[in-house]
Amino acid sequence: MKKIISVCIAVALAAAALTGCGPEKETKDFSDANLMVKGFRNFVTDVNYNSFGKGGDLFTEKYPGAVVNFEVGGQGGQGDDLVAAVTAGDPWDIQLVIGVFLPGLFKNDLFEPLDDLIDINDEVYSTNFMKEFASYDGKVYGASNIIMGDYDYAIYNENMFKDFGIKMPIEYYKEGNWNREAVLTMIDDLKKAGCPMAFSMGGVSLNTYTFSKDKDGKVTSTISSKESRDYLEFVRTIMYEKNIPDSSGNVLTRGRAYDMGGLPVGLFRNVSDDPVDTVRYIPFPTANEKGSYMTDYHFAIPRGAKNPEASAELIRFLVQGALEDRSAKYSAAMTEEDYKIFKEDIIDAEKAYTLRAPSYGISGGDVIKDFKAGKSVGQFISENETRAQKAAEDYNKEYFGE
């Protein structure tokens, strides 16, 4: 059996120029700035997220003498250390915030609005994405590019598919038939051939079908809807009827022909491990034209930060650095065909879909445990419907006072 490298993906986009259109602004010198950036990972050493730290060098190249420090802290933007620092009036300069905790972080006055500090229409940013996912009460609080997200994506070993004569996902895709039915057919073909595979069930994709969000951001439980039932039945079929192993916590191990899991975990670490096999990527099939499910990240300035203008300037470089670095890595790791599909599916269309709210209402772990135990979809919904409704109600009460 041939090897398959551990791989994953996120997004890609062409790098934007540092200068934009419009009236010329006064140029400020931040060469004496000494800035601290914190987040849930070390953005210098972490192999999956070090793209988030690349902009530090870009900043210090433009402003010789400036110092940019990276430390782990603040968790996803809600850490006790960050709250204490903001309360004491002595926070660090920039925090990476995670979408699952928004908009509560912005509502709770932990961060400064960015509208007067950055040009949110700058090409380096995914402006519409920021307005939808990193804003509160008409103000933008987080700066990002959609390239910074983590995504659900399908990954497969082209060599193994060809060796066993199994129809590949890209073939279904070109026919316009890359859907859930195709996935189940492909799984049957792989099982008959004795090819290993795995499936990761995450809370992000689960929320996409079991909750809905209206134009004002308020959330409703849709766990008993047809769309939710169809999705849960699909997952149950994979995990129970077809008994495909769960890859949660260890996305993509060696020797698998096919995997469905979260990204970008693994891609950057193992992309050069196997010089022979060709690893391919394809968007995971979704319903009703939804895009790939994701977890979003944004750079924000804690309320009371001492040098907000320098922080805002650094944020632009941090987003640009992530954009350039991840674009280069993804385009190098993917075939030209896969990169084109990936870019069209997520970047150009900005179709990535995330629903933050009741992330702790029902987890992917709940689904895995219950379906592996043989529970039906109807039983799962019946046992979790009240829980899902309460999660939506609690969310709306916390963020909207209703």
Q: Tell whether the model's pLDDT for residue 204 goes beyond 90.
A: no
284 phi and psi angles, rounded to 5 deg: -70, 135
Q: What's the confidence (pLDDT) of residue 202?
A: 57
**Between 366 and 180, residue with greater pLDDT:** 180
- Which tokens sit at 347? 């970047």
pLDDT of residue 287: 66
Highest mean pLDDT among 13-22, 57-66, 327-336 belongs to 57-66
Residue 270's pLDDT is what? 37
- Report whether pLDDT(259) > 70: no
d(CA 321, CA 55) in angstroms, rounded, equals 4
Torsion over CA: 205, 197, 267, 180 (sign):
negative
pLDDT(185) > 90:
yes
What per-residue confidence (pLDDT) applies to 89? 96
pLDDT at residue 216 greater than cutoff 80: no
DSSP H helices in 164-307: 169-175, 180-193, 203-210, 226-236, 267-270
Q: What is the bridge-based pairing of β-strands 258-262 and 197-199?
A: parallel
More confident residue, 230 or 218: 230
Amino acid 35 reads: L
Q: Check residues 227 and 399 and name the one with the higher pLDDT.
A: 227
β-partners of residue 139 are 136
User: What's the whole-model pTM score?
Assistant: 0.81
Q: How large a percentage of the chain has pLDDT more than 90?
A: 37
Cα separation values, 292 from 3, 208, 210, Å: 27, 10, 16
More confident call, 265 vs 159: 159
**Whether residue 21 has pLDDT greater than 50:** no
User: Each residue of 42-96: pLDDT tens digit?
Assistant: 898 887 789 999 999 999 999 999 999 999 999 988 899 999 999 999 999 999 9
264: CB partners within 8 A, 6+ apart:
8, 9, 10, 48, 150, 151, 326
Measuring CA to CA, which residue among 86, 43, 46 is closest to residue 267? Answer: 46
Compute the distance between CA of residue 240 and CA of residue 256 in angstroms, rounded to an integer.
19
Residues 112-148 have pLDDT tens digits of 999 999 999 999 999 988 988 888 888 999 999 988 9
The residue that leads in pLDDT, 226 or 256, is 226
Helix (H) or strand (E) holding 134: none
pLDDT at 133: 84
Domains of the chain: 34-148+293-336 (3.40.190.10), 151-292+353-400 (3.40.190.10)
Residue 148: which residues within 8 A CB-CB, separation 6 or more? 10, 11, 51, 52, 296, 297, 298, 319, 322, 323, 326
Question: 397 pLDDT band (50/70/90 cuts)?
Answer: confident
Q: What distance in Å separates the CA atoms of residue 287 and residue 359, rounded to the nearest whole number?
A: 20
Q: Whole-angstrom Cα distance, residue 88 to residue 22?
A: 39
d(CA 364, CA 269): 25
- Tell me: the pLDDT tens digits for 226-254? 988 998 998 899 888 888 876 654 434 34
Cis peptide before 103 (omega within 30 of 0): yes
The pLDDT value given to residue 271: 38
If residue 300 lies in a helix (H) or strand (E), which one and from where to where?
A: strand 297-300
pLDDT, mean of residues 172-184: 91
What percentage of the chain reaches a pLDDT higher than 70? 79
Q: Is the pLDDT of residue 262 over 70?
A: no
Distance CA 53, CA 42 (A): 8
Estimate to the nearest angstrom the gap between the alpha carbon of 144 and the chain centroid. 12
Residue 138: strand, helix, or coil: coil
Query: At residue 364, what is the residue type?
Result: G
Q: Which two tokens stand for residue 211?
A: 């909750």
The whole-number pLDDT of residue 20 equals 39
pLDDT given for residue 27 in this prediction: 73
* The pLDDT value given to residue 18: 29
Q: Is the pLDDT at 152 greater than 90, yes or no?
A: no
Q: What is the mean pLDDT of residues 368-382?
A: 90
The total of other beta-carbon atoms located within 10 Å of residue 286's CB is 20
Cα–Cα separations (whole angstroms), residue 336 to 196, 280, 282, 342: 26, 10, 12, 10
Q: Greater confidence, 204 or 335?
A: 335
d(Cα 294, Cα 151) in Å, to the nearest integer? 4
pLDDT value at position 198? 74
Q: Determine if the peptide bond prior to 264 is cis (ω within 30°).
A: yes
Average pLDDT, integer, range 266-270: 37
Sort strands 219-221 and 197-199 into parallel, antiparallel or unpaired.
unpaired
Least confident of 3-7, 45-49, 315-319, 338-342: 3-7
pLDDT band at 367 (very low <50, low <70, confident <90, very high): confident
**Around Cβ 84, how many Cβ atoms within 10 Å?**
11
Tell me what the pLDDT averaged over the chain comes to.
Answer: 80
